[in-house]
């Protein structure tokens, strides 16, 4: 097979992958690997396709093999780190993510993935630093601003430092429920009940899957006599606890506590 045909195959695989046609890309890779079973770039792309398809164990296996044959690009190393996380190999993921955090040439679009990955391996300080870097590169990035607030909270920064960032993220992208919820809960925890209530009123209880957030919402709504939202919080907490198999335990559930307090 000529080199030009090999390049054409590689391009076709890349096109199918970028378009989200992972089954097609996988079939093209199967055929190509019959001809080039030890080609590092093909094996690398196989790892990317498996990751995108949700087969993280296979993705790790392919990317580890590819790394023995060719240098993995920064973007592929990011995929490898997140594949490791998906199968519980936290140490390997942490090693890659900490290395990527030192790369001054890391593309800006990869910074959110890096921050999330660092947070998942408990590297909160480094995640905060990377969020700050993302914000320096793009001052209008709501994700970077919210990330700074999130990791500052994890690291125990005072509310007067965190709250302005949460307000900034919400102002940049007011239609993202996670920003409204994060700001509402922070306000509730810091006694800003009117602001918290106004924010909570703009949320659909059914979209909230965090029991602690629902607890906070119920407490605030109860203070303002909003029995309908208190009941909605109670019902959602009960549904969550039932799905987790905790509602039938002998201890009082969060839902029962809300009901009794209401």
List of domains in the chain: 175-262 (1.25.40)
Asked whether 90 and 59 are in contact (CB, 8 A), the reply is no
Segment 181-189 shows an average pLDDT of 96
Q: How far apart are CA 94 and CA 110, in angstroms?
A: 16
When pLDDT is cut at 50, 70 and 90, the band that residue 4 belongs to is: confident
Average pLDDT over residues 140-159: 95
Q: CA 148 to CA 135: how far, in whole Å? A: 9
How much is the pLDDT for 3? 61
Per-residue pLDDT reduced to its tens digit, 54-105: 999 999 999 999 999 999 999 999 999 999 999 999 999 999 999 999 999 9
How far apart, in whole angstroms, are the C-alpha atoms of residue 52 and residue 184? 34
> Mean pLDDT throughout 150-174?
96
Q: Are 233 and 214 in contact (CB under 8 A)?
A: yes
Q: How far is CA 139 from CA 56, 133, 136, in A?
A: 34, 10, 6
Q: Tell me the average pLDDT across 44-50.
A: 95
The candidate with the shortest Cα–Cα distance to 63, out of 93, 34, 35, is: 93
Position with higher pLDDT, 257 vs 180: 180
Mean pLDDT of the chain: 91
pLDDT at 259 over 50: no
Closest to 187 in 3D by CA, of 173, 197, 176: 197
Query: What does the pLDDT read at residue 251?
Result: 38
Return the DSSP state at 224.
Answer: T
d(CA 47, CA 81): 12
Read off the tokens for 236: 């959602």
Q: Which residue has the higher pLDDT, 243 or 259?
A: 243
Confidence label for 9 from pLDDT (cuts 50, 70 and 90): confident
pTM for the model stands at 0.84
Q: CA-to-CA distance for 44 and 60, rounded, in angstroms? A: 10
Instruction: Please say if the pLDDT value at position 247 is more than 80.
Output: no
Residue 106's region, left for phi above 0, alpha for psi from -120 to 50, else beta, is beta
* pLDDT at position 2: 52
> Which tokens go with 31?
């055929």
235, 214 Cβ separation under 8 angstroms = no
């Amino acid at each position: 097979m000529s080199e030009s045909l090999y390049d054409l195959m590689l391009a076709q695989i890349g096109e199918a992958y970028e378009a989200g046609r992972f089954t097609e890309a996988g079939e093209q890779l199967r055929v190509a690997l019959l001809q080039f079973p030890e080609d590092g770039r093909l094996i690398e792309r196989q790892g990317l396709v498996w990751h995108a398809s949700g087969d993280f164990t296979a993705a790790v296996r392919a990317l580890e093999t590819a790394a023995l044959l060719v240098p993995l690009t920064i973007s592929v190393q990011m995929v490898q780190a997140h594949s490791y996380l998906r199968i519980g190999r936290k140490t390997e993921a942490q090693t890659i993510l900490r290395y990527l955090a030192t790369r001054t040439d890391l593309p800006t679009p990869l910074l959110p993935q890096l921050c999330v990955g660092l947070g998942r391996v408990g590297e909160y300080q480094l995640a905060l630093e990377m969020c700050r870097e993302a914000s320096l590169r793009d001052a209008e990035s709501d994700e970077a601003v919210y990330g700074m607030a999130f990791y500052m909270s994890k690291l125990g920064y005072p509310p007067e430092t965190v709250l302005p960032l949460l307000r900034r993220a919400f102002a940049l992208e007011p239609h993202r429920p996670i920003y409204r919820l994060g700001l509402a809960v922070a306000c509730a925890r810091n006694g800003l009940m009117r602001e918290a209530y106004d924010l909570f009123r703009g949320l659909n209880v059914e979209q909230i899957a965090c029991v602690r957030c629902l607890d906070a919402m119920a407490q605030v709504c109860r203070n303002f006599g909003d029995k309908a939202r208190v009941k909605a919080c109670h019902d959602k907490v009960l549904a969550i606890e039932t799905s987790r198999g905790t509602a039938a335990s002998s201890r009082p559930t969060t839902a029962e506590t809300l009901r009794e307090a209401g």
